[in-house]
Amino acid sequence: MARAIEIVEVGPRDGLQSEPEVLSTATKLELINRLVASGLKRLEVASFVNPKRVPQMADAEAVLAGLPKVPGVQYVGLVLNRKGFDRALAAGCTEVGLVTAATNSFSERNQGATTEELIRTIEEIAPLAREAGVRMQVTLSTAFGCPFEGEVPAARVVEICRRLAKSNPLEIALADTIGVAVPSQVTALVEQVRGVVGDVAIRCHFHNTRNTAVANAYAAVLAGVSTLDASVGGVGGCPFAPNATGNVGTEDLVYMLSRAGYDTGIDLTQLIETARWLGEQRGKPVPSMVSKAGGFPAGTVRASA
Residues with catalytic function:
238
Give the C-alpha separation, 207 to 188, whole Å: 18
Query: Radius of gyration of the chain from Cα atoms?
Result: 18
255 touches 290 (CB < 8 A): yes
Contacts of 143 (CB under 8 A, 6+ apart): 102, 152, 157, 174, 175, 176, 177, 189
Three-state DSSP state, 290: helix
Of 56, 53, 134, 140, the residue nearest 98 (C-alpha):
140
CB of 43 within 8 A of CB of 74? yes
Q: Please state, in angstroms and rounded to a whole number, the distance separating the CA atoms of residues 159 and 197.
A: 10
Q: Exposed, middle or buried by CB within 10 Å (0-12, 13-18, 19+), for 219?
A: buried
Distance CA 78, CA 137 (A): 10
- Dihedral sign, CA of 158, 159, 164, 166? positive
What is the rounded CA–CA span in Å between residue 230 and residue 288? 11
d(Cα 41, Cα 32) in Å, to the nearest integer? 11
